């Protein structure tokens, strides 16, 4: 039986509802369930429709995207939500909040300059998001079947006892590989939510800089940095050309541009440029990671988190050749197990760590390396 995804489109603009409807009809195994012009109408339709994914506009009358998402999370937690965002500062700020609340991903609206190219890009991105949503849902379904099979075989005395949720896999404490001078992070789909579970838990005396690539277009990375900075003990900022790289600062590559580091006398500074995309990404994790070893040598802690594709894998390979220590986010805690999987398949990961334990593990490694 075909696993058809039923999609509800929520947007107050007729044009965008039409564009997205046409895109949905062109994606295999995907059906248009309905459209709605605001969140209030969408929530009413969900009461009598079978819907798997909602494409949710940010700015709408009566009930906007953020309020709708908050209600959806409570009333329909199994429905995946993809935010449809305009390319302006207000929409970017709200989109980041939505992603931190658990939206799967966001897609920018066509900008009116190259509408056909934008539509093709939207279709490709939605196809990828839907494919990974299916994979995640199937894994959850199979896990549920396994639990049912297991519980049916236990005695009637224990079958009705409440089952506590499984805790995160305990950390396997390995000997610190040595002294660390920098933490480098690559992340994509699911990143804002995952980063909000890691960066705010890092201590204010980490005493090394953090360099981070999150796949995002312009404007959005500035909003992401501002949001994370409000929650974090470390200073989080969107990186600027020639920024001085300092301890206890997190530098996020600006959307649409690559970020590298270089030596300037005794200092380390940031280089921002618009070189060609790599792995269809700009910023690209590989570009940043390649620049790290010539500056920091082997004293590098790398982390690849949730995301589609394989960006970062070759970058980690170049870091491992210099002697870095490599962490990846565990499969079960990724929204999309693509980028970490690529690193693991190349046998480049020293540890796979559950998301709730990543900040703790980073802190352990950095502080033990410093004290040894």
Question: What pLDDT band is residue 158 in, cutting at 50, 70 and 90?
Answer: very low
Which residues fall within 8 angstroms of residue 40, CB to CB, at 6 or more apart? 62, 63, 68
Q: What local confidence, expressed as pLDDT, does residue 139 receive?
A: 73
pLDDT-derived band at 146 (thresholds 50, 70, 90) equals low
Higher pLDDT, 259 or 88: 259
Instruction: Specify the higher pLDDT residue, 220 or 150.
Output: 220
User: Active-site residue among 85, 181, 215, 223?
Assistant: 215
- pLDDT at residue number 109: 79
Catalytic residue among 85, 91, 188, 330: 188
Residue 345, both tokens: 């398949």
Residue 188 among the catalytic residues = yes
Question: Is 311 in the active site?
Answer: yes
Q: Average pLDDT, whole number, for the chain?
A: 88
pLDDT at residue 225 above 70? yes
Between β-strands 182-187 and 80-85, what pairing exists: parallel, antiparallel or unpaired? unpaired
pLDDT higher at 355 or 121: 355
CA-to-CA distance for 343 and 304, rounded, in angstroms?
8
Is the CB of residue 296 less than 8 Å from the CB of residue 183? Answer: no
Residue 372 has pLDDT above 80, yes or no: no
Residue 242 burial by Cβ neighbours in a 10 Å radius (0-12, 13-18, 19+): exposed
The listed range with the strongest mean pLDDT (100-104, 117-121, 323-327) is 323-327
Q: At how many degrees (to 10) do helices 65-75 and 39-46 cross?
A: 20
Q: What is the pLDDT of residues 37-60, one digit of tens each?
A: 999 999 999 999 999 999 999 989
Topology alike, domains 5-136 and 182-371: yes
Position 164 pLDDT exceeds 50: no
The two tokens of residue 242 are 């020639």
Dihedral sign of CA atoms 327, 330, 335, 337 in order: positive
Side-chain half-sphere of 80: how many Cα atoms within 13 Å? Answer: 22
Q: Which residue among 85, 227, 311, 330 is the active-site one?
A: 311
Over residues 326-333, mean pLDDT: 95
Q: Which residue has the higher pLDDT, 319 or 120?
A: 319
What is the gyration radius of the CA atoms in the chain, in angstroms?
A: 22
Residue 132: pLDDT above 90?
no
Per-residue confidence band for 154, with pLDDT thresholds at 50, 70 and 90: very low
- Give Cα separations from 93 to 64, 66, 103, 274, 351 (angstroms): 13, 11, 14, 24, 34
Reported confidence tier of residue 88, pLDDT bands at 50, 70, 90: confident
Q: Distance (Å, rounded) from C-alpha 294 to C-alpha 171?
A: 31
- CATH class of the domain at 182-371: alpha beta
Helix crossing, 220-231 with 89-100: angle to 10°?
A: 50
Q: What is the dihedral of CA 132, 134, 136, 141, to 10 degrees?
A: -170
Q: Where are the domains of the chain?
A: 5-136, 182-371
Rounded to 5 degrees, φ, ψ at 36 are -150, 150
Q: Give 119's pLDDT tier (boundaries 50, 70, 90).
A: confident
Joined tokens for residue 349: 């990961």
Query: How far apart, in Å, do the first and last CA atoms of the chain sit?
Result: 58
- Is the pLDDT at 159 greater than 50, yes or no? no
Strand partners of residue 146: none
Q: Which pLDDT does position 138 carry in this prediction?
A: 78
Q: Which segment, 102-116, 138-152, 262-276, is predicted with the most confidence on average? A: 262-276
pLDDT attached to residue 352:
96
The torsion of the CA quartet 142, 145, 150, 155, rounded to 10 degrees, works out to 170
| pLDDT band at residue 111 under the 50/70/90 scheme | low
Asked whether the beta carbons of 284 and 275 are under 8 A apart, the reply is no
Q: What is the pLDDT of residues 170-220, one digit of tens each?
A: 555 455 567 899 999 999 999 999 999 999 999 999 999 999 999 998 889
Check residue 357 and give its pLDDT.
97
pLDDT band at 324 (very low <50, low <70, confident <90, very high): very high
Predicted confidence band at 107 (pLDDT cuts at 50, 70, 90)? confident
- State the pLDDT at residue 157: 35
Q: Say which CATH topology domain 5-136 has.
A: Rossmann fold (3.40.50)
pTM (two decimals)? 0.84
Q: Is the pLDDT of residue 322 over 80?
A: yes
Separation CA 6–CA 130 (nearest Å)? 10
């Amino acid at each position: 039986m075909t696993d058809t995804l039923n999609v509800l489109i929520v947007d107050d603009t007729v044009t965008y509802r039409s564009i997205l409807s046409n895109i949905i009809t062109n994606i295999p195994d995907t059906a248009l369930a309905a459209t709605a012009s605001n969140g209030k109408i969408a929530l009413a339709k969900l009461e009598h429709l079978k819907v798997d994914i909602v494409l949710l506009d940010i700015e709408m009358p009566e009930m906007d995207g953020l309020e709708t998402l908050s209600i959806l999370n409570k009333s329909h937690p199994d429905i995946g939500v993809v935010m449809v965002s305009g390319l302006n500062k207000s929409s970017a700020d709200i989109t980041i909040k939505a992603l931190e609340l658990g939206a799967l991903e966001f897609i920018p609206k066509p900008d009116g300059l190259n509408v056909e190219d934008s539509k093709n890009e939207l279709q490709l991105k939605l196809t990828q998001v839907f494919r990974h949503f299916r994979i995640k849902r199937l894994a959850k379904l199979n896990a549920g079947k396994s639990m049912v099979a297991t519980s049916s075989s236990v005695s009637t005395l224990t079958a009705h006892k409440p089952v506590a949720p499984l805790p995160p896999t305990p950390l396997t404490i390995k000997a610190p590989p040595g002294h660390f001078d920098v933490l480098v992070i690559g992340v994509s789909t699911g990143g804002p939510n995952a980063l909000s579970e890691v960066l705010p838990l890092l201590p204010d005396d980490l005493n090394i800089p953090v360099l981070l690539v999150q796949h995002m277009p312009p404007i959005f990375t500035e909003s992401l940095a501002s949001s994370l900075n409000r929650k974090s003990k470390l200073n989080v900022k969107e990186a600027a050309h020639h920024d001085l790289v300092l301890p206890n600062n997190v530098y996020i590559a600006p959307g649409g541009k690559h970020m590298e580091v270089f030596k300037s006398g005794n200092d380390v500074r940031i280089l921002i440029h618009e070189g060609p995309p790599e792995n269809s990404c700009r910023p690209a994790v590989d570009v940043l990671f390649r620049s790290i070893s010539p500056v920091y040598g082997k004293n590098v802690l790398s982390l690849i988190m949730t995301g589609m594709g394989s960006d970062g894998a070759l970058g980690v390979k170049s870091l491992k050749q210099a002697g870095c220590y490599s962490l990846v986010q565990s499969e079960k805690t990724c929204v999309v197990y693509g980028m970490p999987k690529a690193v693991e398949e190349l046998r480049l990961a020293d540890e796979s760590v559950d998301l709730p334990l990543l900040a703790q593990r980073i802190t352990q490694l950095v502080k033990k390396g410093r004290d040894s």
